Amino acid sequence: MASFKETFSKALLTLLVGQSAALSLFPGSNGNKLQLASVLGLDGHTARFNPEKIAEAALASGPGAEIPIQRTSVRLLLIPIDHDDPSVGTYQNRYWVSTDFYKPGGPVFVLDGGEDNAISLAQAYLRGSNSFFVDFLKEFGAIGLVWEHRYYGDSLPFPVNLSTPTDHFKYLTNRQALADIPYFADRFTLNGTDLSPKAAPWVMFGGSYPGMRAAFTRNEYPDSIFASFAMSAPVEAQVNMTIYYEQVYRGMVASGYGGCAKDLKAISDYIDSQLDKKGQAADDIKSLFLGKEGIHNSNGDFTAALGGIYNLFQNYGVDGGISGLSALCKHLDGNATSTGIAPIIGAKKLTEKFSTWDELMYLINGRNNNCKDQSNSTQITCDLGGPSADPDTISWTWQYCTQWGYLQADNLGPHSLLSKYQSLEYQQSLCYRQFPGAKESGLLPLQPDTNDTNAETGGWTIRPSNVFWSAGEFDPWRTLTPLSNETFAPKGVQITTDIPQCGVETPENVLFGYVIPDAEHCFDFDLDYKPADKSRKLFSDALKKWLPCWKGTHEPKRSHVRRTSLKYWQA
Ligand SMILES: *[C@@H]1O[C@H](CO)[C@@H](O)[C@H](O)[C@H]1NC(C)=O
Ligand SMILES: *[C@@H]1O[C@H](CO)[C@@H](O)[C@H](O)[C@H]1NC(C)=O
Ligand SMILES: *[C@@H]1O[C@H](CO)[C@@H](O)[C@H](O)[C@H]1NC(C)=O
Ligand SMILES: *[C@@H]1O[C@H](CO)[C@@H](O)[C@H](O)[C@H]1NC(C)=O
Ligand SMILES: *[C@@H]1O[C@H](CO)[C@@H](O)[C@H](O)[C@H]1NC(C)=O
Ligand SMILES: *[C@@H]1O[C@H](CO)[C@@H](O)[C@H](O)[C@H]1NC(C)=O
Ligand SMILES: *[C@@H]1O[C@H](CO)[C@@H](O)[C@H](O)[C@H]1NC(C)=O
């Protein structure tokens, strides 16, 4: 067993070492994996720079972890590549099953893996001893499933790599991917017993993009999915997501780091002023952070690398150990001056101090670079740009560049946290760079088609019945969920914790949901995070109220017409 476990760990390791952007800030920042790492109690530095530890922790968290889940319960199903045209063929989609807590007659709970290889999700949540999902399985005597999304992990209609022809991505659309789980559900049997949605109620769970999928699937396939828990689910597609950093700013202020946020603005303003001068001044400021070997990098690529300091925020808040924002703030100003220390020591000195933060070089170099000759390798390369070679990142980049938007440029203005070179144009250029020629061939839109996406899904106006929505107060993604309180969000939505009647949609100005105080992204996943108890319990109470009304009869399909026209202010 031990040796098998080791082999298995190594397999996981190779899967996890690749970088994956997921729903996150800059390409390569490992959104999903950081989320899992924070739930598993790993510090931010380890999570970022030793991702194999995430795999090990996920593996160790399951009881009887020496019996690899891959062995015992992985399954494959042939799925049509094109749900509208069977002649295109099929591919194998991967999923995992747990019957450990199943009581005959119980429901089927499916946790969606979203924009990542789902194996560590299955390991940590389907069997883990400290798993919110296992708690739900136990409480309801449910069968547990983890579903891997098409084009991620091993669920590949086509191989995904840097040479994948662009037209192979044409089946990576929200509509095609949403149809997969209902197709699978209709065919699901266990030991020859029908456990399709005709025979058992299916409930979908997801956080982040999977949370969107949980809500959309209930909305569009109510015959298949009876109820959903949509956690931190930014269902509104939007090109301009500068609001992301506004939330980071608010979170920093609420945690007592308002002075530090001012300092970080002073630093990026200073860096911008040097870049604006061009010539020697621009070379010098790049050289301060990257060494001479780094001065050829564009202002966008250079300042994007510095922006990596915020990557932990959505999963750790200002914490996260030596790599977290609070550690950086302490490095900049040990006295945590409420006005920031820049007015005292000056922006230039402060910028130099910033450049000496130990973690920064790790952030800039990641796994592939050797800026400032930090890794002692003979090769000094410092090329911060370039497309990502990680398959999951490639697939997610396709998805956000075509349909979702979410371009996280600087929140220009008094709360700005990034360089002004982190513009929407720069973020958009990453789409073109990742898929060369795709814009010209018309396969990649000039901008993400968010209007079409919202017209198709209903965006944040949808109110499917039997759905509970949660998000953290300072979750950068809350801003595009129906729990958004931003000035650009629908006005006058009343958030209620009164459980609606089974099968009854609330009016558009009422939402069954909960904003978790002080929390960030997907904190419902973390059982140790007590303020999320209320959110988890609300869904459990709601399910207890709704499940008895399940009859196995088919409900009428909802139309997916967007109900109101909303204002957009996309770039
Ligand atoms: C990369 O993708 C191409 C085109 O889809 C495929 O032919 C090739 O086998 C893939 N390479 C790897 C290493 O998977
Ligand atoms: C399915 O069948 C196997 C072998 O007969 C048995 O061990 C297992 O408990 C059954 N599972 C369920 C959920 O009934
Ligand atoms: C804190 O402020 C005091 C008094 O101004 C100063 O002497 C000290 O060096 C500061 N400490 C740090 C860590 O910045
Ligand atoms: C590079 O070499 C120096 C001197 O031998 C050593 O102190 C340092 O830790 C090394 N750095 C890395 C990243 O290995
Ligand atoms: C999206 O819709 C809005 C409002 O309906 C419109 O102003 C905007 O031009 C549209 N954007 C695109 C890219 O079509
Ligand atoms: C939305 O909520 C956040 C966090 O509670 C708060 O800081 C912000 O001011 C609110 N936004 C608006 C527009 O009210
Ligand atoms: C992006 O959205 C913000 C509001 O969140 C707005 O202030 C800003 O002007 C927008 N940027 C562009 C280029 O439209």
Report the candidate in 477, 300, 502 with the shortest Cα–Cα distance to residue 385. 300
What are the tokens at 77?
């199903």
CB-ligand 1 contact for 164 (6 Å cutoff): yes
Q: What is the atom index within ligand 1 of the atom nearest the CA of 158?
A: 5
> Over the stretch 98-134, which tens digit does the pLDDT of each residue have?
999 999 999 999 999 999 999 989 989 998 788 999 9
pLDDT band for position 343 (50/70/90)? Answer: very high
Q: Comparing 374 with 449, which gets the higher pLDDT?
A: 449
Residue 533 has pLDDT above 60, yes or no: yes
Q: What is the atom index within ligand 4 of the atom nearest the CA of 374?
A: 13
For atom 10 of ligand 3, the residue with the nearest CA is 335
Count CA atoms closer than 13 A to 45's CA, side-chain side: 10
> Over the stretch 126-151, which tens digit does the pLDDT of each residue have?
987 889 999 999 999 999 999 999 99
Is-contact 564 225, C-beta < 8 A?
no
What are the tokens at 145?
């499933």
CB-ligand 5 contact for 568 (6 Å cutoff): yes
Across the chain, mean pLDDT equals: 89
CB-ligand 6 contact for 486 (6 Å cutoff): yes
Residues present in the chain in total:
571
Residue 64 confidence (pLDDT) = 53
Residue 378 confidence (pLDDT) = 66
Mutate to test the pocket of ligand 6, among 250, 487, 515, 516 (most ligand atoms within 8 A of CB): 250
What backbone torsions phi and psi does residue 309 show, to the nearest 5 degrees? -60, -20
Q: Comparing 233 with 381, which gets the higher pLDDT?
A: 233
The four Cα atoms 111, 115, 120, 122 give a dihedral, to 10 degrees, of: 20
CB-ligand 6 contact for 475 (6 Å cutoff): no
How far is it, in rounded angstroms, from Cα 236 to Cα 212?
Answer: 9
CB-ligand 2 contact for 99 (6 Å cutoff): yes
Residue identified by tokens 């904190």 is 523
Q: Which amino acid is at 283?
A: D
* Residue 207 CA, ligand 6 centroid: distance in Å: 22
How far is it, in rounded angstroms, from Cα 190 to Cα 99?
Answer: 9
CB-ligand 2 contact for 100 (6 Å cutoff): no
What are the tokens at 62?
């399951």
CB-ligand 4 contact for 377 (6 Å cutoff): no
> Over the stretch 150-179, which tens digit does the pLDDT of each residue have?
999 999 999 999 999 999 999 999 999 999
Ligand 7 neighbours, Cβ below 6 Å, are 240, 242-243, 424, 569, 571
- Cβ neighbors of 337 (< 8 A, separation 6 or more) are 259, 344
Residue 421 has pLDDT above 50, yes or no: yes
Model pTM score: 0.90
Beta strand 227-231 with 510-516 is unpaired
Residue 552 confidence (pLDDT) = 73
Q: What is the DSSP letter of 440?
A: T
pLDDT band for position 379 (50/70/90)? Answer: confident
Count of beta carbons in the 10 Å neighbourhood of residue 563: 13
Report the candidate in 64, 60, 95 with the shortest Cα–Cα distance to residue 77. 95
| H runs (alpha helix) in 307-436 | 313-316, 325-332, 342-345, 347-355, 358-365, 391-399, 424-434
CB-ligand 2 contact for 101 (6 Å cutoff): no
How far is it, in rounded angstroms, from Cα 308 to Cα 311?
Answer: 5
Residue 424 has pLDDT above 70, yes or no: yes
Report the candidate in 201, 199, 208 with the shortest Cα–Cα distance to residue 222. 201
CB-ligand 6 contact for 565 (6 Å cutoff): no
**How far from the centroid of its chain's Cα atoms is residue 262's Cα?**
27
pLDDT band for position 522 (50/70/90)? Answer: very high
Residue 201 has pLDDT above 90, yes or no: yes
**Mind listing the domains of the chain with CATH numbers?**
74-161+173-235+462-552 (3.40.50.1820), 240-441 (no CATH)
